[in-house]
A and B are shown apart, each in its own frame.
Chain A
Amino acid sequence: EAQVTQNPRYLITVTGKKLTVTCSQNMNHEYMSWYRQDPGLGLRQIYYSMNVEVTDKGDVPEGYKVSRKEKRNFPLILESPSPNQTSLYFCASSKGIEQYFGPGTRLTVT
């Protein structure tokens, strides 16, 4: 089944404790992206990647890092999480214009 998977689905952590949210797709898509969704703000793009080893900032990249060492994986790294990064995070992948979204990761930073 073609899909985008994210792990974990739920995470509660404390300020400053490094964490990684994994994202994997099995559709051989070149484009992958991370978004955060907050009430009243919709989805905001954090980082995207056009292909392996090619990443670029979206609209809200501060406090996040990404890497694209393999085509199928695009992990989101929070080196020192802060409470304002509490949010619902979505990974997406696409070949053309249609993005396929993962199920989301709900992160709470206390």
Chain B
Amino acid sequence: GQQLNQSPQSMFIQEGEDVSMNCTSSSIFNTWLWYKQDPGEGPVLLIALYKAGELTSNGRLTAQFGITRKDSFLNISASIPSDVGIYFCAGQSTTSGTYKYIFGTGTRLKVLA
């Protein structure tokens, strides 16, 4: 099945540092989404992006929808311990009447206090 290439796979950073992660695809998506998953829980939506070039912020998080519609990135500024978790990108395509979601493989973030 189709998957998105997400990098890095994991990151260890110091509290207060900024974090960047990205997602690339061979396919075009109509919507890009970023989720965070805490241990033992389901993913929670952080940011949704709806058009190419869009830059959206949610607190310390900023995400961009790539101009080619085949990539997206997420930045977290001034990381704090509760940022620990797995971050997933997801693309949604509505071509041919389908409404599938394709998820990336995840970036595991660990923050050292």
A and B part of one assembly? yes
A residues with a Cβ closer than 8 A to B are 4, 31, 33, 35, 40-45, 48, 50, 56, 58-60, 90, 92, 97-99, 101-104
Please name all residues of chain B whose beta carbon is closer than 8 Å to the beta carbon of A102 when the two chains form the complex: 42
Q: How large is the interface on B (under 10, 10 to 19, 20 to 34, 35 or more residues)?
A: 20 to 34
- Complex: how many Å from CA A42 to CA B10? 13
Question: What is the minimal beta-carbon distance from B41 to any residue of chain A, in angstroms?
Answer: 6
Given contacts A33-B101, A42-B103, contact A101 B33 (CB under 8 A): no
CA of A31 to CA of B33 in the docked complex: distance in angstroms? 17
Complex: how many Å from CA A50 to CA B94?
12
Known contacts A33-B101, A42-B6, A50-B99: does B42 contact A104 (CB below 8 Å)?
A: yes
| B residues apposed to A, CB below 8 Å | 1-4, 6, 9, 31, 33, 40-45, 48, 50, 88, 90, 92, 98-106
Complex CA distance for A8 and B3, rounded to whole angstroms: 28
Question: Which of chain A's residues has its CB closest to B104's CB?
Answer: A42
Question: Known contacts being A42-B88, A44-B1, is A103 close to B101, with CB within 8 Å?
Answer: no
Give the residues in chain B near A35, CB-CB below 8 Å.
103
